[in-house]
Every structure is written in structure tokens, then in C-alpha cells.
Amino acid sequence: MIVRNSLQDADLPQDDPRVKQLNVKMKKEGYKPDALIEILHNAQNSYGYLPINVLRYIAKVLRLPPSRVFGTVSFYHFFSMKSKGEHTCLVCTGTACYVKGAQKLLDKVEEKFGLKQGQVTQDGKIGLQAARCIGACGLAPAVILDDEVQAKVSPEDLISKLTSKLETHEQG
Amino acid sequence: MMALVTIYIDGKKIIAGSEKTILEVARENNIEILTMCHLKGLTDVGACRLCMVELEGSPKLFSACTTKVADNMIVTTNSERIRRYQRITTELFFAERNHICAVCVSNGACELQDLGYKVGLDAIRYPHLFPQCEVDTSHPLYVMDQNRCISCSRCIRACAEVEGAYNWDMMNRGYQIRVISDFNTLWGESTTCTSCGKCVQACPTGALWAKSIVQGQQDKHPEFITDLMERRKMNL
């Protein structure tokens, strides 16, 4: 029995700030199919890469054939569909977060794990990315650890959270 | 009222409608131009570069399928240079994937094989790429064999323009280009494919074939697509 995942079922958690940002972008472009590339740029900026469920969601909302979306993503070297690490640490470097010390967060992670933004640890456990505003300025400085938004993060907080991610990983 | 123009193809004077392409006019007048990606009824994309012709006054070559005729155009379709390029293009088709006629369903009924005979292909002067290619047998009725695909995109256009399903597209670029179904998912798991089989009819090689066919028994009808589009135009 072959399972067909209909595009109609494609959905994303609507309370995720990255989804909100994506929705705003698509609305701003008038849901025009020819704005696909701009919308993909936007999605990759906030996710760090283009997960398949995001592509499904974009295809559904823009009413584009899945193969057209996939073809576009695979054509341009800029777009990546690979996750950048098993645990992703996305530090927001938008204006508000920057003022509230996003750079200190990035520096601390580099000091502790030897990671610069855009890199993944050698064991592939943690990937560090920076994104322009993730739309959570009230929570500055904000970090998205895996799929959870962390509000008002201090450098020490971030390191302990990342360390506990690694520990739960080892136990699991 | 459509404008008429006078053009000369290989020295033959022809009066033709100005909205037509060089290829259309040539075929109507029984002048042979080799093609692979052209299928009457589908939008021409100029992908295969086999229909290149010389136009007097320009050092460039033009693809006959995407170039409209113009008044006093002087077209050459069979110069030594054009025959040389046709031969190179054909050799590159064969060098790019794993075309083994002896084990192919389309052996004896293949447009690529016919093309090889037409250009007098006796050897391939380029190193074969021998890529590792997928064979997708997940669809209940049909098979997609990337080894035999020449990336002409006829299946993609037949699916998008005739059936309106848009199951197919291309992924990647250059020599890594591959025809894909949906999100590069298995054809059998496609959410868009209607299993109509138009892509199979449109495919010029043995890349797309029906499972009920055995080796060398392929019987394709690309003209099926052409007839369908002609009938649609008549608004019956």
C-alpha cells in the first residue's frame, strides 16, 4: 500500500515565528507563483535551510506544483535542503537582538564549541546559524534552539541549554 | 489577417505565415530538420540544439523550433557545419547517460536510435560519463529509467500542458540534471500524477515505459499528444 501525502495536508505550526514571517512574506508578494524565489530566500533566512515540510507548505499556499518548487530549490546553489546539524542553534542578529547582545551569544558559542556561524560541529550534533530578525524582537536577544524560541537569553543560559541538549542526546 | 512572408530554405522559395517558426515551415514543405525536444502540440523550448540552422547575415546558429520566420530570411539547414554539430550533439546524448540499446525496451522504436542512424553515428569520440542512475519502478503502471533519459523535457511539458497535472520537472543543473516527480519523491507516491500515461507517449527514448512492455516491444505514439492538442484547438 502506497501512502500518498496530499499537499492539502501540508501545514506548519502557525505559532512558530518563522512561519509567521513566511506567511507575511507570501501575503506581501500577493501569493504570486513568480515570487517563489524571493519567498524561498525568506524561508531559508529564517530556517537556515529549506526543510521539506516548508517546501510542501510553500507549494500548497502558492498553488505551485511540488516538482516546480523542488526544481527551483535544487537549481540554485544558494538554496540548501540539508539540515545544518542535528541540533540547530539559530541566533537572531536583527537590530533589537544585536543591541541586546546577540554578538556576545555568538562569541560564547564560538569560545565553548569552536563554532562560527554557518558551521556545524565535527560530530554533526550542533549547527550554529545567525538570522536576520526572526520576528521576536520583544524577546531580544532571541535564540531558536531546535524548534523552540528562547527568550532573553544570556550567554551562560545558552551554553547550559546547548550542553543539556547534547546530554539528552547521549542518553537517548 | 495574418501577414505573409517570403523565405528561402535551402534555396527553395516559400511563402509562409509570419507567426510560424522556421521548423514548422520547413516540415510543411518536406524539408527535414532533425529534432528531439520538439513535439508538435507542446511549447517549444529549444533544449536539444539539434534543429540549429544558419541564417544568412549572422555568424550565429539559430534553433529552428524557437525562431519565427521573417521576410526575406535565407535559411540553410544542411551545411557541412550544421551536419558536424548535429553529429556532436548526438554523440553527447549517448555519452551523457547509459544508453544500451540491446537491453532497452525501446530498441527498434527509439527516436534517439533513429537519430544515431540519421547522423551516421559509428563511434562516440567523447568519454562516457557512466553516471549511477536511478530506475524508479514504484508506479503501478509505468517505469522511469534515468539511464535512458536525454533531458528533452517532453514528458514535463506533456504533463503540465496537456494533462495539466505537472507531476514532472527537472532538478539540479548541467550534467547532474534529472527529471523528478513531485519533491524528488518516488513516482508511485506522487500526489499530482494522474497515471494518464501521456509522458510515456511523449518520451522519445526508453526512459519512460509501460510495465506491460517487454524488451524491444515498445510501441510509442507521440503523435497522440499532437492529435489531442489539434482537437482541443477545434473547440469541439
pLDDT band at A130 (very low <50, low <70, confident <90, very high): confident
Query: Is residue A136 over pLDDT 80?
Result: yes
- Selecting from A3, A68, A75 the residue whose C-beta is nearest the C-beta of B189 gives A3
Q: How far away is chain B from the Cα of A73, in angstroms, using its nearest Cα?
A: 8
Overall average pLDDT of the B139-163 stretch: 97
Q: CB contact, 8 Å: B151 with chain A?
A: no
Q: How far apart are CA B54 and CA B62, in angstroms?
A: 6
Q: Chain B partners of A81 at a C-beta cutoff of 8 Å?
A: none
Overall average pLDDT of the B95-109 stretch: 93
185-204 in chain B: CB under 8 A from chain A: 185, 188-192
Overall average pLDDT of the B2-23 stretch: 95
Which range, of A9-18, A122-131, A145-154, B151-160, averages the lowest pLDDT?
A: A122-131
Q: What integer best gives the mean pLDDT of chain B?
A: 95
Overall average pLDDT of the B63-73 stretch: 97
Q: How far away is chain A from the Cα of B185, in angstroms, using its nearest Cα?
A: 9
Overall average pLDDT of the B100-110 stretch: 92
Q: What integer best gives the mean pLDDT of chain A?
A: 89
Q: Across the interface, do A71 and B166 touch by the CB < 8 Å criterion?
A: no
**More confidently predicted of B154 and B220:** B154
Cα–Cα distances in angstroms (integers) from residue B228 to residues B23, B99, B233, in the given order:
20, 30, 9
- Helix runs in chain A, H state only: 17-28, 36-47, 52-62, 66-75, 95-99, 102-113, 155-171
Q: Across the interface, do A65 and B171 touch by the CB < 8 Å criterion?
A: no
65-124 in chain A: CB under 8 A from chain B: 65-71, 74-75
Residue type at B82? I
Q: Chain A partners of B173 at a C-beta cutoff of 8 Å?
A: 74-75
Q: How far away is chain B from the Cα of A36, in angstroms, using its nearest Cα?
A: 15
Contact assessment for residue B6 and residue B82, using Cβ atoms and an 8 Å cutoff: no
Residue ranges matching CATH 3.30.70.20 in chain B: 87-233
The count of C-alpha atoms lying within 13 angstroms of the C-alpha of A111, restricted to the half-sphere facing its C-beta, is 10
Cα–Cα distances in angstroms (integers) from residue A86 to residues A42, A80, A83, A157, in the given order:
22, 15, 7, 20
Please give the CATH topology (third level) of the domain spanning B87-233.
Alpha-Beta Plaits (3.30.70)
Q: Chain B partners of A66 at a C-beta cutoff of 8 Å?
A: 182-183, 185, 191-192
ipTM of the complex: 0.89
Contact assessment for residue A91 and residue B191, using Cβ atoms and an 8 Å cutoff: no
Q: Across the interface, do A6 and B188 touch by the CB < 8 Å criterion?
A: no
Residue ranges matching CATH 3.10.20.740 in chain B: 4-78
Nearest CA to A144 out of A124, A122, A129, A160 is that of A129
- The nearest alpha carbon in chain B to A68 belongs to B169
Q: How far away is chain A from the Cα of B192, in angstroms, using its nearest Cα?
A: 8
Which range, of A122-136, B45-59, B75-89, B221-235, averages the lowest pLDDT?
A: A122-136
- Selecting from A56, A70, A75 the residue whose C-beta is nearest the C-beta of B173 gives A75
Q: Across the interface, do B167 and A67 touch by the CB < 8 Å criterion?
A: yes
Which range, of A123-132, B26-35, B80-89, averages the lowest pLDDT?
A: A123-132
Report helix, strand and coil shares of chain A as percent, to nearest 5.
50, 10, 40
Overall average pLDDT of the B82-109 stretch: 95
Query: What stretch of H or E contains B195?
Result: none
Q: How far away is chain A from the Cα of B159, in angstroms, using its nearest Cα?
A: 11
What percent of chain B stands above pLDDT 90? 93
Query: Is residue A3 over pLDDT 70?
Result: no
Q: CB contact, 8 Å: A33 with chain B?
A: no
pLDDT band at A47 (very low <50, low <70, confident <90, very high): confident
pLDDT at A1: 46
pLDDT band at B211 (very low <50, low <70, confident <90, very high): very high
3-state secondary structure B149-165: CCCCCHHHHHHHHHHCC
What is the Cα B14 distance to its own chain's centre? 26
pLDDT band at A5 (very low <50, low <70, confident <90, very high): low
Q: What number of residues does chain B have?
A: 236
pLDDT band at A119 (very low <50, low <70, confident <90, very high): confident
The widest CA-to-CA distance across chain B, in whole angstroms, is 54
pLDDT at A170: 65
Q: Across the interface, do B172 and A6 touch by the CB < 8 Å criterion?
A: no
Nearest CA to B74 out of B31, B11, B18 is that of B11
- Selecting from A6, A7, A70 the residue whose C-beta is nearest the C-beta of B169 gives A70
pLDDT at B236: 65
Q: Given this structure, which CATH class describes domain B4-78? A: alpha beta
Main-chain phi, psi angles of A148, to 5 degrees? -105, 135
Cα–Cα distances in angstroms (integers) from residue A8 to residues A3, A34, A58, B181, in the given order:
14, 21, 11, 17
Give A111's contacts (C-beta < 8 A, 6+ positions apart): none
Grid coordinates belonging to A106: 555568538
Q: How far apart are CA B114 and CA B212, in angstroms?
A: 23
Q: How far apart are CA B161 and CA B143, in angstroms?
A: 21
Q: How far apart are CA B99 and CA B173, in angstroms?
A: 20
